Amino acid sequence: MEIDVYNFGDSSINNLNAHFFVEKRNDAYGSRGNVDSFHNFLGRKLFDTPSAEVMVFSENKTYIAGSAVVYRKLHINNADCLVGIMSGSWTSPENRGQGLFSKIIDASKQCVRAHQGDFLTAFVTSTNASYGRLKAAGAIEIPSYYIFHENFDDTNKNVDFEIVEDCDFRSIYEKNQSSFVYSFPDFCSQYLDKNKTCLRIANEYVLISETFNAYKVDLLTYGNIDSLEAVISGLINYKNAKGSKKLFLFSTDIDFANLCTSLGCSILNGYFMMIPVDGMLAPKNVLIQMGDKV
């Protein structure tokens, strides 16, 4: 078996058969990715971090498994640290049960170490098969919450929302509580594009991406639990007014999740898994929202 690593920051990426890689990943998980989205996601360079890397495991010149590592900075334990985020990992169905995901973890960790990074990380749900392998590799488990509101609910119909055509991006940036590190230009590139809807609710802001079945909340600002309750209530009203799609949020804040539950949301538990590369202390108070994940 051969392992090859391709870097989006140099010419090595030209040797990757991206069409074959995407096709094999689609076959493995029934997804509908394409080469353009593959390059747009991994090839962009927004942050002062290393370029993304793609690794491929092959036998007889056939791709049998693959993954990517995207680099970001997290502010934890009163310092900025470099983390690699595992993304798009797959194993072909005929090669499962051979320990390939554990090999992907090891190879990804080596990539992060080569850049003097502190953690290899991954987002998983509690039901994801990858969870057990990451845990066995020594990952620190940061609880996360995939939050859904699907039913019509007019309990909080008195909380208004306003669709804002000209968002105050600077205010959103300054109110953002994420543990990911952003310069203002990086923040704008990450969050603020023409396909997002900006809402103002109770003097707070919400950025929403609409998918085929959900109103996905990429970011919302809030000062305390009381203001958060008003924002979530306004979001539920927005969802009710728009139609039949569900509301979809993500957070690593247990108080955030508990409040959403009290307002009729359901929760799928997950984890932000953090594998220390070289003995880094366990992080505390890691705050992540949906839009930080991409």
pLDDT value at residue 157: 63
What are residue 209's phi and psi, to 5 degrees? -110, 130
Q: Where are the domains of the chain?
A: 2-117, 147-270
> How far is residue 151 from each of residues 74, 158, 183, measured CA to CA in Å?
35, 18, 38
pLDDT value at residue 194: 58
Q: How far is CA 16 from the centre of its chain?
A: 24
End-to-end CA distance of the chain: 30
Q: Which of 61, 254, 29, 232 is nearest to 128 (CA)?
A: 29
CA distance 53 to 37: 15
User: Over the Cα atoms of the chain, what is R_g?
Assistant: 20
The residue written with tokens 């202390």 in the block is 281
DSSP 211: -
Number of neighbouring beta carbons within 10 Å of residue 152:
9
pLDDT value at residue 193: 67
Enter the CATH code of domain 147-270.
Answer: 3.40.630.30
pLDDT at 206 over 90: yes
Decide whether 2-117 matches 147-270 in CATH topology: yes
Of the two residues 127 and 281, the one the predictor is more confident about is: 127
Tell me the per-residue pLDDT of 106-125, one tens digit each, with 9 for 90 and over: 999 999 999 999 999 999 99
150: number of CA atoms within 13 Å, CB side? 6
Number of neighbouring beta carbons within 10 Å of residue 165:
7
- Specify the pTM: 0.92
pLDDT at 294 over 80: no
The residue written with tokens 């010149």 in the block is 61
CA distance 146 to 289: 10
Tell me the per-residue pLDDT of 5-18, one tens digit each, with 9 for 90 and over: 999 988 888 888 88
Region 187-193: what's the mean pLDDT?
82
pLDDT at 262 over 90: yes
Torsion of CA 177, 123, 70, 285, to 10 degrees: 30
Looking at CATH, the fold of the domain delimited by 2-117 is given as Aminopeptidase (3.40.630)
Q: Which of 25, 288, 263, 3 is nearest to 142 (CA)?
A: 288
pLDDT value at residue 155: 62
Tell me the per-residue pLDDT of 126-182, one tens digit each, with 9 for 90 and over: 898 899 999 999 999 999 999 999 987 666 667 889 999 888 889 999 999 999 999
**Max Cα–Cα distance, the chain, nearest Å:** 64
pLDDT value at residue 184: 92
Tell me the per-residue pLDDT of 30-85, one tens digit each, with 9 for 90 and over: 777 888 888 888 887 777 899 999 999 999 888 999 999 999 999 998 899 999 99
Tell me the per-residue pLDDT of 235-256, one tens digit each, with 9 for 90 and over: 999 998 887 899 999 999 999 9
